[in-house]
Amino acid sequence: MAVERLEVVILGAGIAGCALAYHLARRSVGPTVLYDPRTPAAGATGRAAGVVTEQLWNEWDVAVTRAARAEYAELVARHEPSAFTVNGFVRWTADPSAARVLSDATERLRGWGVEVRRVERSELEGWVPWGRFNDVAGAIFTPSDAVVTPSTLAEIYTDEARAAGVEVEIGSPFHGLKRSDGAWALEAGSRTFRAHQVVVAAGAWSKRLLASVGHPLPLAPYRTQAATLRPAGAGPEVFPSVHDIDLDVYVRPEGNGRILAGDGTELVEVDPDRTPSGGDERFLGHLAETFASRFPGWADAELVRAWSGVCTSTPDRRPLVGPVPGAEGLVALVGFNGFGVMRAGGVAQRLATVLAAGEGSGRELQLIAPVLPGRFPPGTPAVAPRPGFTLEGGDAPRF
Ligand SMILES: Cc1cc2nc3c(=O)[nH]c(=O)nc-3n(C[C@H](O)[C@H](O)[C@H](O)COP(=O)(O)OP(=O)(O)OC[C@H]3O[C@@H](n4cnc5c(N)ncnc54)[C@H](O)[C@@H]3O)c2cc1C
């Protein structure tokens, strides 16, 4: 069996692994192999809604997501302009106490340079004429937010990485990963790749992969669902992505007269290999109830397709990115808590800078300080999945 010697092997060709391959190539780090036993975007990336928003948790998160958004805009402008649309993002609540939290969030977001404002019911009615908003107690709007086609971005990153010299090994069966003789050895198909560094970017499969090499991280895979629908009546083709905080349902325009709707985190851990890929009755029932009460103009929408995907949560709902403590050459790029599309490009830029700096990367590590895996001591257990679409702030209620 041929053994190939490399600098980096990236496990997983979701948007995170693909973006990292692209950024390593741009920094002349290599040779690099990007490996996936399936195809690019076969995991959560190919099932994501593609909402990109700056309504986020902290300044670091905003900076990362803004960098990703700028990169996506630039990449699709060269390759596939229809894969990126700026449409804004609006979320609301009918609960007066949650409305106060939303109002505080507005101030906090402004402090981080986010363009955000409160909106009145009349504006909601203008943007989303299918909706009923008479009970809304508070709503905020971020006009620069966008929707993207995540699988297209993963493909663009892969193509660009390949053109810059990254080898893309797709579709060969995974036989194992182990540490031997001072290097990481990946066995895939009939090949063995030995590398100084291995980056685990395998989405929901990362938990098992990291545990198999004796370095578990506190990750919990969970299921989330979405559907495309075709509303009966005509309406604006482009409208802001909307999120009803109380019902935890979001809807974005999908083009060709369709909409894409989804709901949030399912609070039980699942095995990504045993999770049905279709939408289920509970989800479709929840959507139907939400449409009847909140979007009566969409109540008769025809279901085009429903599906589910598996995301990965962490105890503090932030990703785990960077060197895994106590494991030489093992790097994590995992735990996106349902927001990996909007962050991947920005996180990959930073991680690539850290890896390019090599041994003396102390200063560069600051770029990813809030998400380093070492913030959880070894042995920290995974906790049950928790909702990701939240606004935090001191003791603010979760929503
Ligand atoms: C319904 C739904 C809606 C979503 N909406 C949004 C949204 O609006 N905005 C947003 O930002 N995020 C959204 N997400 C979340 C987003 O999809 C994920 O956070 C993101 O795609 C994670 O990317 P990833 O590259 O880390 O993982 P994935 O895309 O899951 O990729 C992991 C890859 O690893 C591969 N793999 C598995 N085992 C191995 C192995 N042994 N070796 C190598 N590779 C392996 C898999 O085949 C897969 O291709 C949504 C997710 C779902 C399911």
Distance from C-alpha of 115 to C-alpha of 109, rounded to nearest angstrom: 8
Q: Show the beta-strand stretches assigned E in the chain.
A: 3-11, 32-36, 51-52, 84-86, 89-93, 117-118, 138-142, 146-148, 167-170, 174-180, 183-188, 191-200, 220-230, 241-244, 249-255, 258-263, 302-313, 320-323, 330-334
In the prediction, which pLDDT does 173 show?
Answer: 98
In the prediction, which pLDDT does 388 show?
Answer: 54
Compute, in degrees rounded to 10, the torsion defined by CA atoms 20, 25, 28, 33: 80
Atom of ligand 1 nearest to the CA of 312: 19
Q: Cβ contacts of residue 98 below 8 Å, gap of 6+?
A: 137, 138, 245, 246, 397, 399
Q: Specify the residue with its C-alpha closest to ligand 1, atom 31.
A: 14
Q: Specify the residue with its C-alpha closest to ligand 1, atom 39.
A: 202
Distance in Å, CA 83 to ligand 1 centroid:
18
Ligand 1 neighbourhood includes 50 CB (under 6 angstroms)? yes
Atom of ligand 1 nearest to the CA of 342: 11
In angstroms, how far is CA 247 from the centroid of its own chain? Answer: 21
Distance from C-alpha of 252 to C-alpha of 237, rounded to nearest angstrom: 10
Ligand 1 neighbourhood includes 20 CB (under 6 angstroms)? no
Distance in Å, CA 130 to ligand 1 centroid:
31
In the prediction, which pLDDT does 387 show?
Answer: 64
In the prediction, which pLDDT does 222 show?
Answer: 95
Distance from C-alpha of 250 to C-alpha of 61, rounded to nearest angstrom: 21
In the prediction, which pLDDT does 390 show?
Answer: 56
The β-bridge partners of 308 are: 225
Domains of the chain: 3-46+150-220+315-375 (3.50.50.60), 87-146+221-313 (3.30.9.10)
Mutate to test the pocket of ligand 1, among 34, 318, 339, 342 (most ligand atoms within 8 A of CB): 339
In tens, the pLDDT along 248-301 reads: 899 999 988 899 999 877 789 999 999 888 889 999 999 999 999 999 999 999
Q: Which of 338, 337, 233, 231 is nearest to 287 (CA)?
A: 231
Atom of ligand 1 nearest to the CA of 341: 11
Ligand 1 neighbourhood includes 44 CB (under 6 angstroms)? yes
Ligand 1 neighbourhood includes 240 CB (under 6 angstroms)? no
In tens, the pLDDT along 187-204 reads: 999 999 999 999 999 999
Atom of ligand 1 nearest to the CA of 43: 30
In the prediction, which pLDDT does 113 show?
Answer: 95
The β-bridge partners of 176 are: 187
In the prediction, which pLDDT does 398 show?
Answer: 33
In the prediction, which pLDDT does 393 show?
Answer: 47
Question: What is the reported pTM?
Answer: 0.96
156: region left, alpha or beta (phi > 0 left; psi from -120 to 50 alpha): alpha
Percent of the chain predicted with pLDDT > 70: 95
Q: Which of 35, 36, 333, 29 is nearest to 167 (CA)?
A: 35
SS3 for 243?
Answer: strand
Distance from C-alpha of 216 to C-alpha of 95, rounded to nearest angstrom: 40
Spans of the chain, pLDDT less than 50: 393-399
Q: Cβ contacts of residue 156 below 8 Å, gap of 6+?
A: 75, 76, 79, 80
